[in-house]
Amino acid sequence: MRLKIVTVGEPVLRDVAAKVSKKQLRHPDTQNLIAYMRETMRDAPGVGLAAPQIGISLQIAVIEDKAEYHKGVSAAEMRERERRPVRFHVIVNPVLELLSEPHTEFYEGCLSLPGFTAIVPRARTVRVSCLDHKGEPRVIGAFGWYARILQHEIDHLNGTLYIDKMKSRSFCSLDNYYRCWKRKQSDVAKQPA
């Protein structure tokens, strides 16, 4: 079942989501929710989806960066972004630790802000302590694009959108990004207003 993705302006996107107990996580309703979130993320398509994005204020996010999503990305861009495939997994009640300063800047989009993108500074390396879909503790060490995805989804669970952290001069429609910025140096967009 594909769920409706809520867009910017919905109050649920600005709330800190509720923690999920192990008992609640193991309940069939929550397991079904995770399966529906996976299907919704893949259908969009996206590389991550947090429960608040479907109108549910719970600390659950699904993540997957399939190799097939990399088909239109050059080898140079893959290296620059340190992007590699990431298998599907679930993070519940995550605690994020930045292991580097948020100086890595790339354009980022969001399923809750369809049609737009902006440069967002993120930490290159992170550690995330969380529960997996079975309620088992997990520690994830990530770098590059995977670290960016984790930071983006955990922001959603804390009521933060990428527009809160973006370089405001870089904000543009996806059409204009592909037309004007994708193949150019983005130094002008990164400059402060």
- CATH number of the domain residue 96 falls in: 3.90.45.10
The tokens for 118 are 């902006």
Domain membership flag for residue 121: yes
Domain membership flag for residue 114: yes
Domain membership flag for residue 4: no
Examine the residue annotation and report whether 68 is marked as an active-site residue of this protein. Answer: no
Query: CA 96: distance to chain centroid?
Result: 13
* Cα–Cα distance list, 27 to 30, 56, 108, 155, 176 (Å): 5, 16, 34, 25, 45
Query: The pTM is what?
Result: 0.93
The tokens for 64 are 């997957």
Domain membership flag for residue 146: yes
Q: Which residue segment(s) compose the domain that 80 sits in?
A: 11-186
The runs of H, that is alpha helices, within 71-112 are 75-81
**Is residue 193 very low, low, confident or very high in pLDDT (cuts 50, 70, 90)?**
very low
Mean pLDDT of 148-168: 98
Domain membership flag for residue 5: no
The total number of structural domains that make up the chain: 1
**Is residue 181 very low, low, confident or very high in pLDDT (cuts 50, 70, 90)?**
confident
Catalytic residue among 10, 80, 82, 153: 153
Domain membership flag for residue 6: no
pLDDT digits (tens, 9 = 90+) for 26-83: 999 999 999 999 999 999 999 999 999 999 999 999 999 999 999 988 898 899 999 9
Share of the chain above pLDDT 90, in %: 88
Does residue 11 have a cis peptide bond before it, meaning omega lies within 30 degrees of 0? no
Domain membership flag for residue 39: yes
The tokens for 67 are 């190799």
Q: What is the pLDDT of residue 39?
A: 98
The runs of H, that is alpha helices, within 72-183 are 75-81, 144-157, 174-176
